[in-house]
Amino acid sequence: MGCLGWKYQLFCLVVLLSFLFHLPSSFSSSLSSISPCSALLHFNSSLSLHRSASPSYYASRIQMCDNSYPKTASWKEDKECCSWDGVECDQTTRHVIGLDLSCSWLNGPIHSNSTLFFLPHLRTLNLAGNCFNESLISPEFGKFKTLTHLNLSFSCFSGKIPNEISHLSSLVSLDLSLNDELLIETPVWKRVIYNLTQLRELLLDWSDMSSIRANSLMNLSSSLTTLSLNDCMLQGKLQNNFLGLPSIQTLDLGFNDNLDLGPFSKCNWSSIYLKFLDLSFISFSEELPNFISNMKSLKHLNLANCNLIGSIPISLGNLTKLTSLDMSSNNFSGLLPLSLLNLPNLSTLHLGYNQLVGPLPNHVSGFNLIDLSLGSNFLNGTLPSWLFNLPSLVTLSLDDNQFIGEIDEFKYNSLEYLDLGYNKLQGSIPRSISRFVNLTYLSLSSNNLSIMLESEMFSKLKNLELLDFSNNNLVGINNNVTYTLPNLQLLNLSSCNISEFPIFLRTTTTLLLLDLSKNKIYGQIPRWLGDVGRDSLYFLDLRDNLLQGPFPNLSFLSLRYIFVSNNKLIGEIPSLICNASSLYVLDLSHNNLSGMVPKCLVQSNVLSVLDLRMNSLHGTIPTTFSTGNKFRNINLNGNQLEGPLPRSLANCRNLEVLDLGSNKINGTFPYWLEGLLNLQVLVIRSNKFQGCIGNPKTKFPFPNLRILDISNNEFNGPLPIKYFKFLKAMTNVDEGKVAIKYMGEGYYQDSLNVMMKGLYIELVRIQTVFTIIDFSKNSFSGEMPQIIGRLKSLKGLNFSHNNLTGYIPSSFGNLSNLEWLDLSFNKLIGEIPRQLANLSWLEVLNLSHNQLTGHIPSGKQFNTFDNDSYTENLGLCGFPLSTKCNSYAAKKPPPLTLQQKDNIEPQNGFSWQAILMGYGCGVIFGMLMGYLMFKIGKPKWIVRMVKLE
């Protein structure tokens, strides 16, 4: 850095002198007499200018950097600095007394040696809305002795707030809010309370005050009018009266979810000056008291997420100055009071996510509403006409209620956000929507609407970002269109009965999410789909259609989720899929794809779900699963894969579901998977595995396995006693205490084909308590070990079609969750243990084709089984068989001549009349990702996104 001009050289000289003569604290004032202008110039030249340092930001009270521009760009060295933009001088002394460089694109650090601190006469300093690169707030700020206003908000400061801030004893306003978790510790907080007695405004939002005692807030200056501590991690109990500050007008304690403000009733709600109150995310668990209406000046009230109960007080209608009311996400019940909708100045009303019932009133007088959000309640009746006559309405969100009837035409065109989804609306969509030139969000999902996607309707909606018509009666598409939706990011036309790809997408380049699932779209996937969102599309759902032909070689670089299951695709998996380096879920199941499993897929370090089941893939499974991979579910069931299982599957440390059933895979039992701590489902049924299972190689094999299906292979030898001993997850599920959960994640619900109660069915969702062992159709021999009785959470046990001998262990009577038990087609002898009568959930029992003898246990479940459960035993007697028991017959061993042939096959299978209920063969929820995040997420998060761009 070179010294430019004589002013700077002089500055360098002074700095040098100050070091020589050790001038510590009087240093700055001695310098100021030389040139504040050169100090300013040098401060400016130490920073760079970037538009991104001053992004615009809106929150309830805050509107930052709306029209930012670089103020210092117009500063000229040859001019007197008092005339510079943002600089204010005293009329007589010509001292620089004010500096306002808010939202000026300033970017770079402010170190302690910055010349900013050579302006000793400053009274106001505003550097808000810039980005000082995570700088610490320098202790030098404490030297501005005459400062009355200091604003360093939204400027990327971080670290500890220095003690020296408490030297600014003339401060009237201190704003350090919206930085990166500035740390405020108790010593500096105490000094601030003690010394800054003139303070009227204190704003520290987004700081870390987690170590501050909440009660100390009561010691703040009594002249305080603004106290803003939103999202400051405050915790503990604030006793007494949190509204006790006598002059307070703005109080923001929102997003401090660990703060306890005690009961409302203890609080003095008569603060007549209070205009702004935000207590969102603080839990009260009580009714909102009527006397809230004493706060006559209140303009803005935010009690969202406060766990409030009871009905909404009618007296809120007395707060005639109210412009904004947010009480969403509480447990309010009852009717929506008419008095609220009649408030003359109300522009924002958020009451979504409550339990409000009944219809909306027919007549209201408050017509200033800009934002009306009543989603996720139980509101019903028709949509009243006043809703369509609000001249300033920008946001209307009535989704997830029970509204019926048709949607009227809107009289005005101001809407930007319209969500009427998840109701029972019918008819067509209002034509007036075509005039909403500023509309960005349109959801009419899940109604009974008849919608025609046609050109006139959408040609003007150039700002549309989200369009969701999913789950409606019928959507016709007029594909002779010329219009485009240049800003479309999310399109959901799932379950709309459409048979073509919507061609208006063709020129869209910003698409993030495309859901056309559950339609009747036929023919090939068009090539232009590859251009739609080439660099942006991350979610593509085409499942459950009639798509044919090969999967086109689309270069979806940004794709993270691909669902194309249940179509009629043929050909190979395209090689360009290897370019989708962020691919997280790939579901191509239930098609007719051929060729091999691409190597790149198993080499991925990102892929979590690989579902290629029910295709015609052949060849071996690639052997190169990498270490550190993220696989959670690998399903290759129902292909023609052959060869042995790759050992590198053991690298899948996150694996929960592995289903390789119905292939031609050979080799021995994959004991090397027993160390996978998360593995819950292992299915290798109907392959060519062979040999003896042997003993585990680790101390606690398969610690979380709950579904083990190795049936229909060529395993032989004894049942693996040691494995049964350690299948921990099968021994200890206490169902009564476990809430019903399903495996998988929001976007991908694990599903599985299992043999259940004698039927091969697809479980659309897998309950996490579902526990099955199926070893049927192998050649296991020897006896069934008693130890199986420890696997208490088992719901199904199938050892049928083996060569098992010996008795049925009486310990099976401990399998108290058992719902089906199939031991048929073995060589079991002896009596059926009486203990089995204790299995109160047992619905299906098959002991046929064995050599059992004696009395069939009676009572309880055993009264419900019929003859089929016992056929071909001949030594059994008693109900339901016609053979009566006498004491002689019961003890008689079975005649040897009745021994059955080993490999007898059932005639028509065993006919179970099982009622397959309770396993959630329900719907998978179509998931629109990220909607909620944008609707109710923390504003902070969005800002960070902005900053990242």
Ligand X SMILES: *[C@@H]1O[C@H](CO)[C@@H](O)[C@H](O)[C@H]1NC(C)=O
Report the interface residues with ligand X, using CB under 6 A. Answer: 111, 113, 166-167, 169, 191, 194-195, 293, 314-315, 317-318, 339, 357-358, 380-381, 413-414, 437-438
Closest distance of CB 488 from ligand X, Å: 18
- Indicate the residue among 38 and 798 with the shorter CB distance to ligand X: 38
Q: What order do you get walking across the sheet with 568-570 strand by strand? A: 522-523, 546-550, 568-570
Distance CA 763, CA 919 (A): 7
- Indicate the residue among 347 and 662 with the shorter CB distance to ligand X: 347
- Indicate the residue among 345 and 695 with the shorter CB distance to ligand X: 345
Enter the tokens of residue 510.
């910003």
Closest distance of CB 664 from ligand X, Å: 58
Q: What's the burial of 666, exposed, middle or buried (CB within 10 Å: 0-12/13-18/19+)? A: middle
What is the DSSP code (8-state) at residue 287? Answer: B
Task: Report the SS3 class of residue 428.
Answer: strand
Residue 946 CB coordination number (10 Å): 12
Closest distance of CB 113 from ligand X, Å: 4
- Indicate the residue among 12 and 474 with the shorter CB distance to ligand X: 12
Residue 663 CB coordination number (10 Å): 23
- Indicate the residue among 416 and 659 with the shorter CB distance to ligand X: 416
Closest distance of CB 723 from ligand X, Å: 54
Task: Report the SS3 class of residue 805.
Answer: strand
Question: Cα 95 to the chain's mean position, in Å?
Answer: 55
Distance CA 166, CA 142 (A): 7
- Indicate the residue among 404 and 596 with the shorter CB distance to ligand X: 404
Distance CA 390, CA 393 (A): 6
3-state helix, strand, coil in the chain (%, to 5): 20, 25, 55
Closest distance of CB 414 from ligand X, Å: 4
* Side-chain half-sphere CA neighbours of 870 within 13 A: 23
Closest distance of CB 78 from ligand X, Å: 23
- Indicate the residue among 140 and 231 with the shorter CB distance to ligand X: 140
Closest distance of CB 190 from ligand X, Å: 8
Closest distance of CB 272 from ligand X, Å: 12
Residue 455 CB coordination number (10 Å): 14
Closest CA to 156 of 255, 234, 47, 74: 47
Q: To which H or E segment does residue 366 belong? A: none
Closest distance of CB 116 from ligand X, Å: 12
What is the signed CA dihedral for 406, 410, 413, 414, rounded to 10 degrees? -80
How big is the chain, counted in residues? 949
Closest distance of CB 411 from ligand X, Å: 12
Distance CA 251, CA 202 (A): 10
- Indicate the residue among 194 and 700 with the shorter CB distance to ligand X: 194
- Indicate the residue among 254 and 317 with the shorter CB distance to ligand X: 317
Closest distance of CB 173 from ligand X, Å: 16
Closest CA to 698 of 723, 728, 678, 717: 723
278 forms beta bridges with 252, 302
- Indicate the residue among 10 and 357 with the shorter CB distance to ligand X: 357
Handedness of CA 75, 81, 85, 87 (dihedral sign): positive
- Indicate the residue among 167 and 765 with the shorter CB distance to ligand X: 167
Distance CA 120, CA 14 (A): 16
